[in-house]
Structure 1
């Protein structure tokens, strides 16, 4: 039945209504996980491709690349996208963007259902983890995919070492003679995903411990990636009588929140408190923020280049590690 299956066939085989199949493909969040998996398994089994997408795929000489990422959650993702688009250039590629909330805040099933509709010839996944089910389905569908900022066995990936980034920040602050340290990072809702923020905290904590400095739980604040919450948490941290004299934030936006809190409390930066961020985005340059620079545009460019290679000729998956650099500015 491959290539000839219809939505009616999928509904009949899965034992659900046609409208349920439609919701699974177009609005997966409105369907239970059990039903969604059953319908998607049937879609794969029958080789079903919705008609409009089949027409789109029939356009000769055009490859459709999907890029799924938490665009609205982090400014850094837009810079990765610039690298993707630069690598795509003027070639016969159509890049389609899919926005999903940060993996630390959402359990949205968008990623789990995205590839099965037949709309894509390749996929780039940015800062969103693959669970086993999604990974197995991508493999079964033979859809070329490259991961950015995350890794999964059997998939191409482009990444930086977040643990090493935390160690860079700690080493710099230790070298400045600080003895009391703090951290502001992004909270996570699920233990199934180890976020970059959590890995950066791990490297930071480990490097401090190796130098004989303790980063107790009272010196760590984890918040949602919201300006108001971040400033409030930073203000609470810096209001302590024994407040940290050095704070590492897991990205530049959160570091800006620390700077705002220090200003509100009348603390001098870097005299009373030094601040280090992560990413080296435009906000870091504007604020004169010391930060750990990661090659955001370069990661997007490398991922697209690798995906284009895989579209031409599939080869064994490989991992590409990009380096980090400490950029010292006025806040330390």
Structure 2
């Protein structure tokens, strides 16, 4: 039973008891006159209605708080509840808001540490793939080339096939290393890194990517550029794996006080499917830099991922 009905029924019991007493020994007429019974009944009903209305108004902040507690998601921050109602209710809402602030700060700190460790591990694995496995396969290719030159004709064809397989494996390892550690992002910047990402994806799939990448971007910082790159990478990867799309639009635009990344495809959309680890990972990255991420259906079908990164305007922007 809800708090409203508990308080209402307790008050109703008191009022009904008082009315029965008036209709019983404590009355002005014996037996009770019809007019007195009608007046008392109407008065009781009026008091119950007034009691219910006052309780409904008084407990409204608690209902709002309960809805907020049931629907809140730390990865999708919403405006805080405005403290209202009686003193105790206002204090409760204020304490709830303070608790959410602490939880969001702690989650942001832990997510930053986890993502930093993840990027460090990616760099380490990419370096080992490039230096150890890549160099080993390169040496194997050179040895196979030397052996193939001296091998008799029946074996030369097989050795050539082994060479091609080894070369394909080497290319795949290099591609994985580039995805783990986008060196072009550090060396040439965000726009060049996104172009390289598109080239890599279109080179291995039938997906057509329309690029609209602005060159007049403000200074973003290495952390913001990495978040933008990873969100674009995850969005394109999801399109290839799950979207069944044929065309994707990738745009990076400058807005007033912000930079906006948008990835929109013409696939089957996300429908009512729950968010997976990839989307939640994008949300965690967005929170690290105070950006806003939205993932939903695109106009005309498909899926649209939009990331808005706030920046400090120095020249008025566009």
Larger gyration radius, structure 1 or structure 2: 2
After TM superposition, is the score higher than 0.5? no
Relative to its length, the structure with more strand (as a share) is 1
Which structure shows the higher helix fraction? 2
How high is the TM-score relative to the length of structure 1? 0.22
How does the TM-score come out when normalised to structure 2? 0.22
Relative contact order (alpha carbons < 8 A, sep ≥ 6): 1 or 2 greater? Answer: 1
